[in-house]
């Protein structure tokens, strides 16, 4: 989220910025998991594979770029959990929450659709293998990279989303140094992915989860509710904590 006040731009303009930023986040992060990390498409092996660390960096770098590129327009949420958390913290207007979340979901879906479009021209059976492998969707149980259960997914999503939104809110507070929020946010998202990719492929962002699941098949779609509900719970919890730690004038 940018240090700039997003209300300075019309809502439609801010929604477009949110859609573009979420598109880039999904395209960069999920795209890296699909195209460049062996485990996402069956682990056949390639000297270009970036693995777990590379995917974590891809998500962190894309959100860092987005914050600096489009944050001055919209605030750079690109995530319904951040939007809801910032509203709960009194840092974002409730009347704009629905518009932001719709824009983020649409942007994420466009991002994953572009990944499918590229996959249509990939090596033989690449797209079908990627989709049968879940299309880098979030999951638990048989859809977890390491077999973690639903309880682990719920707890990790609440904790890590809460931490992420706290960093976003704190680094963009008027008390924080100006201009460094994007770095803090990007590094935090990288760390979050390093922790939780083995557990559930890391959501902390319902728009990212929806974008991948729509092409991931029945299993990821059936489990999607976990990666919508519990990141939002973590975002609201962070908003309440931030409000207590950083009392500021409330948004309308």
Encode pLDDT of 102-116 as tens digits. Answer: 999 999 999 999 999
- pLDDT at res. 48: 60
- Is residue 177 pLDDT above 80, yes or no? yes
Residues in contact with 46: Cβ distance below 8 Å, sequence separation at least 6, in sequence order = 38
Q: Are 138 and 209 in contact (CB under 8 A)?
A: yes
Encode pLDDT of 17-64 as tens digits. Answer: 999 999 999 999 999 999 988 644 444 445 567 889 999 999 999 999
Instruction: Decide if 251 is inside a domain.
Output: no
Region at 170 (left for phi over 0; alpha for psi -120 to 50; beta for the rest): alpha
- pLDDT at res. 4: 44
Instruction: Decide if 1 is inside a domain.
Output: no
HEC profile of 185-198:
HHHHHHHHHHHHHH
Rg (CA), the chain: 17
Read off φ and ψ for residue 37, nearest 5 degrees: -110, 120
Instruction: Decide if 92 is inside a domain.
Output: yes
Among 6-20, 21-35, 208-222, where is mean pLDDT lowest? 6-20
DSSP letter (8 states) at residue 176: S
Read off φ and ψ for residue 76, nearest 5 degrees: 70, 50
Instruction: Decide if 143 is inside a domain.
Output: yes
Q: Show the tokens assigned to 47.
A: 């000297």
Provide the pLDDT confidence category of residue 7 given band limits of 50, 70 and 90. low
Residues in contact with 177: Cβ distance below 8 Å, sequence separation at least 6, in sequence order = none
What are the Cα distances from residue 224, in Å, to 32, 143, 221, 229, 242? Answer: 21, 11, 5, 9, 27
- Is residue 219 pLDDT above 80, yes or no? yes
Q: Work out the average pLDDT over 141-168.
A: 97
Distance CA 101, CA 120 (A): 29
**Percent of the chain scoring above 70 in pLDDT:** 91
Range of the domain at 58: 6-244
Q: Work out the average pLDDT over 150-171.
A: 98
Provide the pLDDT confidence category of residue 153 given band limits of 50, 70 and 90. very high
- pLDDT at res. 38: 67
- Is residue 250 pLDDT above 80, yes or no? no
Distance CA 184, CA 91 (A): 18
Instruction: Decide if 252 is inside a domain.
Output: no
Provide the pLDDT confidence category of residue 3 given band limits of 50, 70 and 90. very low
Distance CA 243, CA 252 (A): 15
Instruction: Decide if 249 is inside a domain.
Output: no
- Is residue 8 pLDDT above 90, yes or no? no
Q: Work out the average pLDDT over 242-250.
A: 80
pTM over 0.85? The answer is yes
Looking at the structure of the chain, the number of domains it has is 1
**CATH code assigned at 111:** 1.20.1080.10
Instruction: Decide if 178 is inside a domain.
Output: yes
Instruction: Decide if 47 is inside a domain.
Output: yes
- pLDDT at res. 1: 54
């Amino acid at each position: 989220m940018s240090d700039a006040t997003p209300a300075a731009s019309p809502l439609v303009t801010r929604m477009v910025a949110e859609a573009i930023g979420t598109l880039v986040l999904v395209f960069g992060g999920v795209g890296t998991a699909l195209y460049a990390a062996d485990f996402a498409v069956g682990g056949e092996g390639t000297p270009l594979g970036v693995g777990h660390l590379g995917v974590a960096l891809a998500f962190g770098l894309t959100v860092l770029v987005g914050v600096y590129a489009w944050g001055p327009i919209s605030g750079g949420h690109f995530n319904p959990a951040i939007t809801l958390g910032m509203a709960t913290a009194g840092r974002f207007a409730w009347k704009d929450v629905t518009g932001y979340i719709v824009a983020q979901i649409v942007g994420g879906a466009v991002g994953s659709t572009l990944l499918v479009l590229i996959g249509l021209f990939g090596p033989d059976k690449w797209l079908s293998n990627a989709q049968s492998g879940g299309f880098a969707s979030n999951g638990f149980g048989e859809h977890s990279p390491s077999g973690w259960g639903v309880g682990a997914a719920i707890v990790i999503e609440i904790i890590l989303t809460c931490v992420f939104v706290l960093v976003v809110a704190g680094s963009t507070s008027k008390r924080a140094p100006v201009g460094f929020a994007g770095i803090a946010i990007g590094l935090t998202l990288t760390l979050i992915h390093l922790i939780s990719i083995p557990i559930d492929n890391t959501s902390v962002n319902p728009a990212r989860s929806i974008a991948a699941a729509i092409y991931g098949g029945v299993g990821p779609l059936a489990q999607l509710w976990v990666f919508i509900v519990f990141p939002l719970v973590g975002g609201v919890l962070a908003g309440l904590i931030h409000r207590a730690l950083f009392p500021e004038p409330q948004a309308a």
